[in-house]
Amino acid sequence: MTSRSAILVINATRDEAVKAATTLTSLLSTAGFTCSTASDVSISGLNKVSNDNLPDAEIVIVLGGDGTILRGAEISRPRNIPLLGVNLGHVGFMAEVEKLSLESVAKSVVEKSYTTDARMLLSYSVERGGEEIAFGWALNEVTIARTESTMVELMVQVDRRPLSRWGCDGLIAATPTGSTAYAFSAGGPILWPNLDAVVLLPISAHALFARPMVISPQSEIVVEIESAHAVLSADALRESALQKGDRVRIIGGTTDVLLAHVKQTLFTDRLVAKFKLPVEGWRGE
In this predicted model, what pLDDT tens digit does every residue of 65-91 receive, in sequence order?
889 999 999 999 999 999 999 988 776
66 plus 186 within the same structural domain:
no
What CATH number is attached to the domain comprising 44?
Answer: 3.40.50.10330
Q: What is the mean pLDDT of residues 21-30?
A: 97
56 is known as an active-site residue: no
pLDDT of residue 68: 94
Q: Give the CA diameter of the chain.
A: 66
Query: Is the pLDDT confidence value at 7 over 60?
Result: yes
In this predicted model, what pLDDT tens digit does every residue of 203-235 receive, in sequence order?
999 999 999 999 999 999 999 999 999 999 999
Question: How many CB atoms are closer than 10 A to CB 49?
Answer: 12
Separation of alpha carbons 70 and 52, rounded Å: 17
Total number of domains in the chain: 2
Cβ atoms of 152 and 143 closer than 8 Å:
no
pLDDT of residue 96: 80
What single letter denotes the amino acid at residue 150?
Answer: T
In this predicted model, what pLDDT tens digit does every residue of 148-190 receive, in sequence order?
999 999 999 999 999 999 999 999 999 999 999 999 999 999 9
159 plus 269 within the same structural domain:
no
In this predicted model, what pLDDT tens digit does every residue of 251-265 receive, in sequence order?
999 999 999 999 888
199 plus 100 within the same structural domain:
no
pLDDT of residue 97: 66
Interior angle at CA 245, CA 242 and CA 249, nearest 5: 70
Q: What is the mean pLDDT of residues 93-105?
A: 86
Domain containing 92 equals: 4-114+262-275
Interior angle at CA 237, CA 130 and CA 19, nearest 5: 160
85 plus 166 within the same structural domain:
no
Separation of alpha carbons 148 and 63, rounded Å: 36
How many residues belong to the chain?
285
Cβ atoms of 102 and 23 closer than 8 Å:
yes
Separation of alpha carbons 239 and 89, rounded Å: 30
80 plus 128 within the same structural domain:
no
95 plus 146 within the same structural domain:
no
Q: Which of 52, 56, 66, 117 is catalytic?
A: 66
